[in-house]
Structure 1
Amino acid sequence: MSSTGSVLVRRHSKLVVSRIRAAWVFLLPMLLLLLVVAGWPLLRTIWFSLTDATFSNMEQASFIGLENYLIYEDGEWFGILADGLWWRAVWNTLTFTAFSVSLELVLGMIFALVLNAEFPMRGLVRAAVLIPWAIPTIVSAKIWGWMLHDQFGIVNHILMSLALIDSPLSWTASADLSLWAVIVVDVWKTTPFMALLILAALQMLPSDCYEAARVDGIHPVKVFFRVTLPLIMPALVVAVTFRVLDALRVFDVIYVLTSNSSDTMSISVFARQQLVEFQQVGYGSAASVLVFLSVMSLTLIWMYLSNRSSNHGGVK
Structure 2
Amino acid sequence: MARQSTIRTEAAAVVTTRHLSLGRSRVRAAWLFLAPMLLVLLLVAGWPLARTIYFGFTDADLSDLSSYEFIGFANYLEYDEGEWYGLLADPDWWNAARNTLYFAVISVSIETTLGLIIALALNASFPGRSILRAAVLIPWAIPTVVSAKMWGWMLHDQFGVLNDMLLGLGIIAQPVAWTADPDLAMAAVIMVDVWKTTPFMALLILAGLQMLPSDCYEAARVDGVHPVKVFFRITLPLIRPAIMVAVIFRLLDALRIFDLIYVLTSNSADTMSMSVYARQQLVDFQAVGYGSAASTLLFMVIAVLTVIYIVAGRVNLGEGGR
Matches within 5 A, 1:1-316: 2-304=9-311, 310=316
Q: What's the offset of the Cα at 1:54?
A: 0.9
Return the TM-score normalized by structure 2: 0.93
* Amino acid paired to 1:26: F
Q: What's the offset of the Cα at 1:159?
A: 1.1
Secondary structure class of the residue paired with 1:174: coil
Q: What's the offset of the Cα at 1:298?
A: 2.6
Which structure 2 residue ranges, 5 or more long, are not aligned? Answer: 1-7
Distance 1:218 1:160 in 2: 47
Q: What's the offset of the Cα at 1:303?
A: 4.5
Aligned residues: percent identity? 65
C-alpha contact (below 8 Å) 2:116/2:205 kept by paired residues: yes
Residue 272 and residue 152 in structure 1: after superposition, are their counterparts in 2 closer, same or farther (change >3 A)?
same
Tell me the matched-pair count.
313
Q: What's the offset of the Cα at 1:310?
A: 4.9
Bigger radius of gyration among the two: 2
Q: What's the offset of the Cα at 1:18?
A: 1.1
Output the aligned Cα RMSD: 1.8
Q: What's the offset of the Cα at 1:56?
A: 2.0
Write out per-residue CA displacement over residues 194-249 of structure 1, whole angstroms, 9 at most, x where no aligned residue. Answer: 00011111111111111121121111111000000011111011100000111100
Q: What's the offset of the Cα at 1:72?
A: 0.5
Which structure 1 residue ranges, 5 or more long, are not aligned? Answer: none
Return the TM-score normalized by structure 1: 0.95
Could you tell which deviates more after superposition, 51-60 or 95-104? Answer: 51-60
Distance 2:252 2:271 in 1: 18
Instruction: Report the equivalent of 2:4.
Output: none
Distance 2:99 2:227 in 1: 38
Distance 1:303 1:237 in 2: 8
